[in-house]
Amino acid sequence: MNKKKIISPINNRKDRLPPGQHWIQYPLVYDIVERLPHFDIEKYRFKVWGEVGQEIELTYQEILNLPSVELTADFHCVTRWSVKEIIWEGVQTKVILDMVKPNPDAKFVYVYCLEGYTTNLPLEYFAKEDSILAYKMFGETIPREHGYPLRLVVPQLYAWKSAKYVWGIEIRKDDKPGYWEERGYHMLGEPWKEQRFWGD
Ligand SMILES: Nc1nc2c(c(=O)[nH]1)N[C@H]1C(S)=C(S)[C@@H](COP(=O)(O)O)O[C@H]1N2
Ligand SMILES: [Mo]
C-alpha cells in the first residue's frame, strides 16, 4: 500500500533555518528525568478527553491500525539546534480530532506523558496537517529515548512541544502551562517569531 507522504510546509520556507538556530546532524536526547518511563505496552492506553463529543481510549495496536502518513519535517529546539528532514510515521492529529469531535469552544490542548512531562499548545497548531502522533522514526519503531510508544510531532512549534511518551490529550477551553511553560517557556513557541520565553 502506498502511504501518504507529507512534507512539512516549514521545510519549503525560503528562510528555512529560523533566526538564532544552527543545523546539527541528529536530535540530542532531552528528558526531564534520568530514567525512561517504564510501562507495559499491553496495558498502555492512549486517551483523549475534555471538551469533546466523544472520549476515546485506544490500545497501541489500535493506533497502529489507524490510517497513517509519512512526515518529513525539520526539528527546531529552543536551545538553538535544528535538525533537517526527520522522517516520522504515524497518525495525523486530524484523524484523532475527527474521532473525538471537539466542542466549538475547544481552543487548547494539554499533553500528558508517561514520565510526567506535560506541554500545552493551541488546538489550531495541534490540528495542523503536519502535526502527527508518531510511532516510527526513520522507518523503525520510534526508539525509546525518542518517544516510544507514541510521540506528538508538531513541526511548526519548537521541539519542546513535540512531547515524547504521550499517553493523554486533554482538549480544553482555556490554556494551561505545561512543564517548561511553567518554568518560563513560551505558551506558543513559534520558531520564526523566536518565541522562546514568555514575553519574547
Ligand atoms: N516527554 C518528554 N517529551 C519531550 C521532552 C521531555 O523532556 N519529555 N523534551 C522536549 C525537548 S526540550 C526536545 S528538544 C525534544 C528532544 O527530542 P529527542 O529527545 O527525541 O531528541 O523532545 C521534547 N519532548
Ligand atoms: Mo528542546
The answer to whether residue 182 sits within a structural domain is yes
- Confidence class for position 54, pLDDT limits 50, 70, 90: very high
- Find the 181 Cα to ligand 2 centroid distance in Å: 12
Does residue 93 sit in helix, strand or coil? Answer: helix
Nearest to 106 by CA among 24, 50, 152: 50
Is the predicted pLDDT of residue 178 greater than 90, yes or no?
A: yes
- Find the 43 Cα to ligand 1 centroid distance in Å: 23
- Find the 162 Cα to ligand 1 centroid distance in Å: 7
Q: What is the pLDDT of residues 58-82, one digit of tens each?
A: 999 999 999 999 999 999 999 999 9
Q: Which ligand is nearest to the CA of 180?
A: 1
Is the predicted pLDDT of residue 1 greater than 90, yes or no?
A: no
CB of residue 159 inside a 6 A radius of ligand 1: yes
The answer to whether residue 32 sits within a structural domain is no
The answer to whether residue 31 sits within a structural domain is no
The answer to whether residue 18 sits within a structural domain is yes
Contact between residue 163 and residue 151 where contact means Cβ atoms under 8 Å apart: yes
Q: What is the pLDDT of residues 152-175, one digit of tens each?
A: 999 999 999 999 999 999 999 999
The answer to whether residue 126 sits within a structural domain is yes
* Counted domains in the chain: 1
The answer to whether residue 199 sits within a structural domain is no
The residue that leads in pLDDT, 3 or 149, is: 149
Nearest CA to ligand 1 atom 19: 29
CATH number at residue 124: 3.90.420.10
Nearest CA to ligand 1 atom 24: 163
Global model pTM greater than 0.75: yes
The answer to whether residue 29 sits within a structural domain is no
Contact between residue 96 and residue 53 where contact means Cβ atoms under 8 Å apart: no
Domain that holds residue 170: 4-24+44-193
